[in-house]
Structure 1
Amino acid sequence: MTEELPPQRKIIHVDMDAFFASVEQRDNPELAGKPVAVGSPAARGVVAAASYEARQFGVHSAMASVVAARKCPSLIFTPPRFEVYRAISAQIREIFAEHTDLIEPLSLDEAYLDVTVNKQDIAIATEIANRIRQAIFEATGLTASAGIGPNKFIAKMASGMNKPNGFCVITPAKAPLFMESLRIEKFHGVGPATAARMKSLGIATGADLKALTLSQLEQRFGRSARYYYDLCRGIDHRPVQPNRERKSVGAEDTFAIDIDTVMDARAHLAPLIDKVWAVMTKRNLAGRTVTLKIKFADFTQITRSRSRGQAVRSRDEFEELVEALLAPEFPPEMPVRLLGVTLSGFEVEGTPATEQLSLEI
């Protein structure tokens, strides 16, 4: 008797278009059609989101506000309203839930949906994606883009192909050619440094990557070789996980003025430690690994971690471990502009999704 193969997965990746900035343009008609950045225009401010009008000038999220203003002199800054973004995100997830319970949120503005089997018995995933996009627009006045594919990686790549307010379908038959033609910097998980290294090795596209054997990739990229090997072939076995495990709780702060003394560092770290510990306590989490992040005035950064055999059991113990990581780094060779702390390696799982807190946007 022949074993019946499981059905080909139908995955949708829904990604809101310039979410934070689009909300601000929706709620303030004077911002419509203008370059908008959500964030602070202060010298140490950072762009949290940029409208498509701002992106035409090269402005993007995580860019220093002073750099963004230099690229786009007409840029309009507006402060973030996270309570509004969260409420709209909840509306959007209710729309997702009309079609499937297999929803994996990645952030407030994007999620994976497995619609292989769906509540309305719609056979074509593209129809579901377009119904969702229409429902989102009717409920919120905002547009979303969607990617439809046989796995999470391909669906995510597809959602960015026809932004904003578009969709792209990549069928299993089209997937190999799509992956071969994709520029290496477009691959999810390939950052600027890795892309530059790959290009120096003559790897510019998925086809170039696919031409290398697993052994050759292992020689060049070590433990990441299998990931790249599968990636260029469009292989991704990860299921959509409705209850993704929380992996870390962290907080960080960018300072108005660079610091260079350990006393200043301790003073700035104290409220971060308080915030992280409050979340850990509220979510009934216990972590074994403490990580300290230090970003210097030239934007280079380092991380220092320490893992224990058992979980950190008190706020004071957490602070002591942070101090042990901090002390050897001071005095620094260069002033410090940001500090961050994280607890990970959990023994007790709480609510889904990694939580990253920030004292400044």
Structure 2
Amino acid sequence: MNEAPIRKIIHVDMDAFFASVEQRDDPALRGLPVAVGGGTRGVVAAASYEARRFGVRSAMPSVTARRLCPDLIFVKPRFDAYRAVSEQIRAIFLDYTPHVEPLSLDEAYLDVTHDLKGIGLATPIAREIRARIRADTGLTASAGVSYNKFLAKLASDQNKPDGLCVITPDRALDFVAGLPVKRFHGVGPKTAERMARLGIHTGLDLRGVEMSVLERHFGSSARYYHDLARGICHRQVRADRERKSIGAEDTFATDLSDPRALGEELDRIGATVWRRIAVKDDVAGRTVTLKVKYQDFRIITRARSLDRPVRDEAEFVAVGRDLLASVLPVPKPVRLLGLTLSNLSRGAVVADPIAPELPLR
């Protein structure tokens, strides 16, 4: 009699968010293939659906994107605009539940098991939220509804763009069975390859593997994979989800070897990171990490942890400079530098989904 109610989880994912904001704000871009980011040697941060038809995807090198879509239009990112829209969307979510877990500027989980409006059903809530997003922002969102986070996220991607998918408990096993395991949250490319070598390609394949076999090949993750194949996920929607690090990096127009030029670029990147840190007054971190990608694409990192939080931008950049000095002279020209602050203090939350190599220029 005291059994907990079935949870009602919604995953809302904006459609091609950055690119859609650019097309909304500049009518001349509507209907055209648009990529946010890029530059001569950068990467795509977001691509419009017109660009995706040519195979252009986020995190793709801009040179590859241009080759796939010669008419691709690159626009510089405007994170202030994206954050403003994200805040509008977040306000809509909070009208229905305080249990909102943002994953980035453009997607979030909502637990509406007990919604504030007393609607009682997740599907009409999802419809109402999507309609309000369109009315308030002029943008479209896709939503997935189910009884756990794993299935809700899978569902939100099922009918994109501008779609809604509901996975009820009686549909879950069949839905999961037909999906490739590479779409499962927590199954990255390397894990998917290992599963493929074991003959595991779909959820149905995964469900048929004995737990002992999963444990032998995947160790402590075996139970998690075993549960996913059965539509089971115990992860809670956490409104206080904390960001683990804040950083930025840049791919240079030409490879650099000169220590002075590298130092100047690091100063610029460090200033960008600190601006992101300064957005939230409660952000503090103790570990500074330098990332270096050489001409041959080999990557190294160097890190230093202080016994207290980094005081200010000057100290943050100075530690980064010291880390850079430890790898000088560089054995090969440098293609990319990055700087990150981690070991964030309790309560430090920053939603800033910067693409791995989004140019700062």
Q: TM class by shorter-chain length?
A: 0.7 to 0.9
Change (3 A) 1:238 1:352: farther
* Alignment-derived partner of residue 281 in structure 2: 283
1:50-81 per-residue CA deviation (whole Å, 9 max, x = no partner) reads 11111010001111222111101121222222
Q: What's the secondary structure of 1:245's corresponding residue?
A: coil
Give the alignment of 1:295-310 within 5 angstroms. Answer: 295-307=293-305, 310=308
User: Does the 8 A contact of 2:176 with 2:229 survive in 1?
Assistant: yes
Identity %: 56
Residue range with higher mean Cα deviation, 219-228 or 114-123: 219-228
Give the alignment of 1:22-33 within 5 angstroms. Answer: 22-33=20-31
d(CA) in 1 for partners of 2:306 and 2:93?
A: 40
Of 192, 196, 200, the residue aligned with 1:199 is 196
User: Does the 8 A contact of 2:16 with 2:47 survive in 1?
Assistant: yes
Q: Does 1:155 align with 2:167?
A: no
* Alignment-derived partner of residue 290 in structure 2: 292
User: Does the 8 A contact of 1:296 with 1:337 survive in 2?
Assistant: yes
Give the alignment of 1:319-338 within 5 angstroms. Answer: 319=317, 321-323=319-321, 325-327=323-325, 329-338=327-336
Q: What's the secondary structure of 1:92's corresponding residue?
A: helix
- Structure 2, gaps ≥5 residues long: none
Change (3 A) 1:319 1:30: closer
d(CA) in 2 for partners of 1:296 and 1:330?
A: 12
The RMSD of aligned alpha carbons is 2.7
Give the alignment of 1:87-236 within 5 angstroms. Answer: 87-236=84-233
What is the identity, as a one-letter code, of the residue corresponding to 1:290?
V
Of 2, 5, 28, the residue aligned with 2:3 is 5
Residue range with higher mean Cα deviation, 217-226 or 252-261: 217-226
TM-score by length of 2: 0.88
Of 261, 270, 273, the residue aligned with 2:270 is 273
Q: Please state how far the C-alpha of 1:257 moved relative to its aligned partner.
A: 1.3
User: Does the 8 A contact of 1:261 with 1:330 survive in 2?
Assistant: no
Give the alignment of 1:241-256 within 5 angstroms. Answer: 241-256=238-253
1:304-354 per-residue CA deviation (whole Å, 9 max, x = no partner) reads 444455544566664565456445544445432111122222344334546
Of 16, 19, 22, the residue aligned with 2:17 is 19
Of 26, 34, 54, the residue aligned with 1:36 is 34
1:87-124 per-residue CA deviation (whole Å, 9 max, x = no partner) reads 22222222212211211111121111111111221122
Q: Does 1:59 align with 2:56?
A: yes
What is the identity, as a one-letter code, of the residue corresponding to 2:248?
A
What is the identity, as a one-letter code, of the residue corresponding to 1:237?
H
Change (3 A) 1:58 1:299: farther
d(CA) in 1 for partners of 2:51 and 2:153?
A: 23
What is the identity, as a one-letter code, of the residue corresponding to 1:301?
I
TM-score by length of 1: 0.88
Change (3 A) 1:314 1:94: closer
Residue range with higher mean Cα deviation, 234-243 or 165-174: 234-243
Q: Please state how far the C-alpha of 1:280 moved relative to its aligned partner.
A: 4.8
Change (3 A) 1:54 1:279: closer
